[in-house]
Chains A and B, each alone.
Chain A
Amino acid sequence: MTDSKYFTTTKKGEIFELKAELNSDKKEKKKEAVKKVIASMTVGKDVSALFPDVVNCMQTDNLELKKLVYLYLMNYAKSQPDMAIMAVNTFVKDCEDPNPLIRALAVRTMGCIRVDKITEYLCEPLRKCLKDEDPYVRKTAAVCVAKLHDINAQLVEDQGFLDTLKDLISDSNPMVVANAVAALSEIAESHPNSNLLDLNPQTINKLLTALNECTEWGQIFILDCLANYTPRDDRESQSICERVTPRLSHANSAVVLSAVKVLMKFMEMLPKDLDYYGTLLKKLAPPLVTLLSAEPELQYVALRNINLIVQRRPEILKHEMKVFFVKYNDPIYVKLEKLDIMIRLASQANIAQVLAELKEYATEVDVDFVRKAVRAIGRCAIKVEQSAERCVSTLLDLIQTKVNYVVQEAIVVIKDIFRKYPNKYESVIATLCENLDSLDEPEARAAMIWIVGEYAERIDNADELLESFLEGFHDESTQVQLQLLTAIVKLFLKKPTETQELVQQVLSLATQDSDNPDLRDRGYIYWRLLSTDPVAAKEVVLAEKPLISEETDLIEPTLLEELICHIGTLASVYHKPPSAFVEGSRGVQHKRLPGSAGSGESVESPDTGSAAGVSDAPPAVIPSQGDLLGDLLNLDLTPPATTGPPPPATSGMQLGAMDLLGGGLDSLLGGDLGGSSAMGAGFGAPPAAPAASFSAPVSGGLDDLFDLGGGVGMPMGAYSPPKTVWLPAMKGKGLEISGTFARRAGVIQMEMTLTNKAMSVMTDFAIQFNRNSFGLAPAGPLQVLTPLSPNQSIEVTLPLNTVGPVMKMDPLNNLQVAVKNNIDVFYFSCQYPISMLFVEDGKMERQVFLATWKDISNDNEAQFQIKDCHLSSDAVSNKLQGSNIFTIAKRTVDGQDMLYQSTKLSNGIWVLAELRVQTGNPTFTVCLKCRAPEVSQCVFQSYDAVLKN
């Protein structure tokens, strides 16, 4: 006899029949009827009409019948709130039943009835049950608090249930503790800042004791709760780790992963030279490997987490490459994750094995998987330099298979390899060109076009190849169009004589016949560039490209830190911080790994140092000065090396835009146009006229700006602004830079505080400036001699000179800086107070002052007001002198002091000033005259800053 008979009652009048049976006198008939009702409910039929009849069956001694009725109530009470009240009395009575099973059942069921009216009746029985003598009842009641909170949070708080729940954490029964923790954790999720789980060493100790004795599920809740605790010191951290480690051998994989989370987090606090630290690292590998022999769904979650762990601590699994080898009947989602981890673990030691595997995968059936395998080969080449050659030959073998998608994928990755190892593997270009016709995916076409353009000089028929693409220009995707435009411009710059027509054609296609603004803009920029200054164009378009590195697909360190704190959660599966997706993430707190306790011992063992991020040579190299510009501008544009369209074209465009301005500036300054203007002769002006804006910012006397002058003088208390944050840690992969500028003893100094907020040691610092208005450049290398440990700060003073290359910036005192360390290159821009360029010999002779004042035309005069300044004119004069603004004469007219002042900038520009100070009036007027009026605004800002500090 089975329950399927309950499903057969689909005929008419079913409800009616059931009603009759429910009201039958026979116990057995009643029960059968309730079973039928439940069965109908289970499959989603509406049997709510039977509510009163079912509730009538509730008062029974038969436990099964009672349970069945409870089941029914939970489902339908919501839709029949008034009727549900009828059940309240029975519940209250059951909560007093001598049998704890019934008490627990009653309180449990009551909590599931999500009707406001009922919750009020629930409070008293619940309070009793929370203090029940039987732990089974207490544990059920603990969960009931969470239920009630879900229905009516205010009520729970008002009734003081939260405090009772907190008390239960100290309960003698581990199961009760576990449920209390679970309930509190759930409630805390809707009150992120409520500090419900107030963890202190005593509660931690209670939790650790309960951990050993409660059920597997309770262990998960307790471990997740422990992970939120921050131990006071490394000793506490170690003792918690020791007590959590046995959980790694639990059969339940969720317990294992939660334990891994606790250990990964608390490990941060252990000194690296501790023996226990090494032991712990060794203990973590086997359980992670074991997770991979579980069901595929568990494997998937485990793999997503291992991906994070491997990035944070590659040493844990570095010898376990083989367990990530793909089996042909793994589900695709497992295959793709395994592949990802294989690449992360690839190193010189195991690359041969990895490549053999990847090659095997590239002949599998599943297209997505095959593509990813091919890509992985390219990533290996970029990651492990020694293997590059083998990777390239493997890729060539794959291209020979002529399998369409394999060929296309291979070409995309070969392009990346070219960028990583320029001038090394170009011999394969011929083979690539053979496959030109078979490419039908935009990404592969764009990659191939990039290769043709980049190596145009080595490909005899490059023009023909590109021309063939040009025929269907308008049908191509934007990605391909942009790439084609850039490639043809490159080709033209390399072989100008034969390709004029081609470039003319592509420029007009891009500018006149396309509605894509990106394409049009890039077209115009090239056109403009080629017609004004072909030499500059060459420098720009054919600039040396920054190298790409394997780094690009790593998770950014601060995010990684946060995700490590969320191991085992949904966040770790999505690789996104919870704030990015958890519904209504009202102020979800960002979790951080605790810092190492032994921060005094700044030297970490070498293996962790290298393991922390990059295992190989430092990645992106700081390019030479000229390229830095490109880099600075390229900042947000470079897509990851292995995905997205190839970046050079984009950077080319940006470079173009900027240098266009620089070029225009040069020419206006009388610098000769240089280079073969014959090349540019073929071009008319582009149809649109952005030209006006190019010349606009440059006016007459700017050439003065570029005279260079050094300053020698006496030490004086020059004004220096307070330090501000230039590079926040979020953008600097954990490196935070704050700083200011000062002029001390006639030397301009950049004073910086470098703080390491990442978890790995930072070394190999270097700094470079972009060209700037006053030729500021570092006078020496950045002196950071010792490696910067996590959470350590260092003060650095960098002397500057003003003999660097000059380019007008907007604003004038803007400085773009690139700082490199072993992790990456970071860019930021900051503004320096122009007062630090005021030299010490800036005091003009009176006569000269007078003559110069008259000489400078009134057009170059600028007037500003300094408000809220309560200084006397003498004090003003003294204060300004400290910053090398010298008062030459003072005149008093009608109670108004007129100060005549002179200042000389490091590049020889004189600024003359008349400062009017009226006694009793806090507003001063300053009138500046200068041959280069652009500086006036900055000089005024310095006046303002100096006087107000």
Chain B
Amino acid sequence: MINSLFLISHSGDIFLEKHWKSVISRSVCDYFLEAKEKAGDPENVAPVLQTPHHYLISIYRGKLFFLSVTQTEVPPLFVIEFLHRVADTFQDYFGDCSEVLIKENTVTVYELLEEMLDNGFPLATESNVLKEMIRPPTILRSVVNTLTGGSNVGGTLPTGQLSNVPWRRAGVKYTNNEAYFDVIEEIDAILDKSGTTVFAEIQGVIEACVKLTGMPDLTLSFMNPRLLDDVSFHPCVRFKRWESEHVLSFIPPDGNFRLMSYHVSSQNLVAIPVYVKQNISFLETGSCGRLDITIGPKQTMGKTVESLMVTIPMPKSVLSVNLTATQGTYTFDLTTKVVLWDVGKLNPQKLPNLRGSISIQTGAPKPEENPSINIDMKLQQLAISGLKVSRLDMYGEKYKPFKGVKYVTKAGKFQVRT
């Protein structure tokens, strides 16, 4: 099981350690730092490392490494999942998962880690349960605490842990009862030079924000549940009901949670909202090249493409670019060599275009690789897979809740090869 956790900044500074069993010297991190040095880019550090006496399993989140040390055979996915959960919890508690915030809240962090793991076994990882035991710091509460001498630590037993619904705390009360569901879909796609789809899939999630009094039992049904053949559910969802009736039946946790995630992979179902006409070329002689990109709408299902953003990582030998954008603004980062073009809303009448020249270091050879173009965008009120919620029913409580469903489609890893 998990022995120890080290938090390491991306510059390699170990700023927090927590041991759940015997103390392991922080010198064990040297193996990791060595691997990090070798990998260059922090994202490229292999997540599972072996040292003579320990195994180091790490994740990289928010420019921080969460490095766990184990001594025995453990399922690495278990450790990685847990580390992500730790990062999620920090984010949930402090608004972000950064070195500064963690240092500001060390005692809370320490208390949280103590509650989340016992002797290496996960103890309480549900945010509902944790919040019952350790209250998240808020400005108001810290003021109140200083005045009254109250504390962040709850004195009650986390009752949810014992019931059949360990994810929900008991005795929830709201004056406004509301339940919101966001259907968020991300398109992962690779398009080749000519615009043909090499690969495309949709990663969808349903994020819920449920603030309902008591123990409500909800049933969410879809117009077209057959779309969903590859799903993963929050533990609260009754799998049997899904298998037999294709409805989501559950007692929700209190607050924000991810109800389900799904995956639509059959390619004909994946609509590609934009097309990209591009030409990036480097001249064989002389140290320059040309760039010309136009973006137009393709299958947008009648919605407007918003927050359109184009990222082009240029070859390292590129010195500067001189471009003109017909819409939006562009920037070129001299150190990372990334062209970032913030287009904004896509107007089908007047297609945005970015063109101009690229200059390369004199004497450098013609770059061998072709940059890929990364597209970011958003389409409101649309789940591109066509998924639609038909109704939400509540049982077990008398009151009438306020219900809402929102759809949004975004680009995930949407890449165009050149």
Contact = CB atoms under 8 A, between A and B. Distances in A.
Contact of B73 (A183, A189, A220, A365): A189
Nearest to B48: A573
B104 A298 contact: no
Interface string A164-196: 000000000101000100110010010000000
A63 interface: yes
A100 B374 CA distance: 54
- Mostly helix, strand, loop or mixed at chain A's interface? helix
Contacts of A136: 157, 161-162
Interface string A861-875: 000000000000000
Contacts of B72: 186, 189, 582-583
A3 B44 contact: no
A64 B152 contact: yes
A44 interface: yes
B73 A570 contact: yes
B75 A569 contact: yes
Interface string A107-118: 010011010000
Nearest to B80: A297
B53 A583 contact: yes
Given A71-B114, A215-B235, A62 B76 contact: no
A248 to B, nearest CB: 8
Contacts of B242: 249
Contacts of A327: 188, 190, 413, 415
Nearest to A63: B155
Nearest to B372: A328
Interface stretch (B13-21, B277-285, B290-298, B350-358): B13-21
A7 B103 contact: yes
A217 B80 contact: no
A401 to B, nearest CB: 7
Contacts of A163: none
Given A44-B26, A224-B75, A254 B81 contact: yes
B370 interface: yes
Nearest to A326: B190
A39 interface: yes
B76 A328 contact: no
A39 B103 CA distance: 9
B121 A179 contact: yes
Interface stretch (B213-221, B258-266, B387-395): B258-266
Nearest to B262: A290
B45 to A, nearest CB: 8
B344 interface: no
A1 B104 CA distance: 9
Contacts of B166: 175, 215
B78 interface: yes
Interface stretch (B170-178, B196-204, B321-329): B196-204
Interface stretch (A139-147, A452-460, A882-890): A139-147
A86 interface: no
Nearest to A99: B157
Q: Which of A62, A101, A173, A297 has the most CB of B within 10 A?
A: A297
Interface in B72-108: 72-78, 80-82, 84, 103-108
Interface string B94-128: 00000000011111111100100011111001100
B55 interface: yes
Nearest to A336: B46
Contact of A296 (B43, B82, B234): B43
Contacts of A251: 232-235, 258, 260-261
A329 B103 CA distance: 31
Contacts of A35: 107
A44 B77 CA distance: 29
Given A175-B161, A251-B234, A290-B232, A42 B44 contact: no
For chain B, which range describes its interface: under 10, 10 to 19, 20 to 34, or 35 or more residues? 35 or more
A217 B121 contact: yes
Given A42-B110, A224-B75, A290-B230, A329 B104 contact: no
A252 B73 contact: no
A329 B162 contact: no
A571 interface: yes
A462 to B, nearest CB: 32
Contacts of B156: 101
Interface stretch (A228-236, A356-364, A767-775): A356-364
Contact of A3 (B107, B118, B232): B107
Contacts of A99: 157
Contacts of B201: 293, 323
Interface string B270-311: 000000000000000000000000000000000000000000
A6 B106 contact: yes
Nearest to A39: B106
Interface string A614-649: 000000000000000000000000000000000000
Nearest to A189: B72
Given A286-B229, A325-B199, A42 B43 contact: no
A328 B191 CA distance: 12
Nearest to A406: B368
A581 B50 contact: yes
A850 B158 CA distance: 104
Nearest to A108: B118
B369 A28 contact: no
B417 interface: yes
A785 B63 CA distance: 63
Interface in B1-43: 1, 15-23, 26, 39, 41, 43
A31 interface: yes
B59 A213 contact: no
B333 to A, nearest CB: 16
A581 B71 CA distance: 11
B231 interface: yes
Contacts of B41: 331
A250 B232 contact: yes
Nearest to B315: A365
B268 interface: no
Interface string B312-349: 01011000000000000000000000000000000000
8 contacts: A6-B106, A67-B114, A71-B110, A136-B157, A215-B126, A327-B413, A329-B374, A573-B76
**Which 3 pairs, one residue from A and one from B, show the smallest C-beta to C-beta distance?**
A286-B230, A64-B153, A64-B151
Given A2-B137, A4-B106, A249-B233, 9 more contacts: A4-B103, A101-B155, A182-B1, A182-B121, A246-B240, A293-B201, A295-B80, A297-B47, A360-B417
